[in-house]
Amino acid sequence: MKRIITYGTFDVLHFGHINLLKRAKSLGDYLIVGLSSDEFNAIKNKKSYYNYNQRKIMLEGCRYVDLVIPENNWEQKTEDIIKYQADIFIMGDDWQGKFDYLKDYCEVIYLKRTPNVSSTQTKTYLKG
């Protein structure tokens, strides 16, 4: 079984997120999503519209996602890759090169983002 792991805030879930999750899942058999906790978002100076539990429920409802785990800090990725025996680590290409150090533990792939969609754009549009 090939295991894939990815991370994110996944606030205001949109088709760009779904595209990323679908493409990630297509590379393996089991997709693990590290979901940024509210506390970790605060450290990153991010504020989500939905809280962790709400975002977790949305991700768990996505047919491509097999397991959602909390992401509490930047450093846990190595531990998670080992713990969950991940074969591939995936992030959007806006993170290109930032996680290359994980190549010692698994394959690292940066996927192109879906053009013209982001949580920030969605939130801005909804504010009117």
Angle at 30 between CA 27 and CA 36, to 5 degrees: 100
Q: How many CB atoms lie within 10 A of CB 85?
A: 13
Q: Taking the chain, what is the end-to-end CA distance rounded to the nearest angstrom?
A: 46
Catalytic residue positions? 44, 46
Identity of residue 63 = R
d(CA 62, CA 92): 18
Please tell me the chain's helix, strand, coil percentages from 3-state DSSP, rounded to the nearest 5. 40, 20, 40
Q: How many CB atoms lie within 10 A of CB 5?
A: 27
From the CA atom positions of the chain, what is the Rg in Å?
14
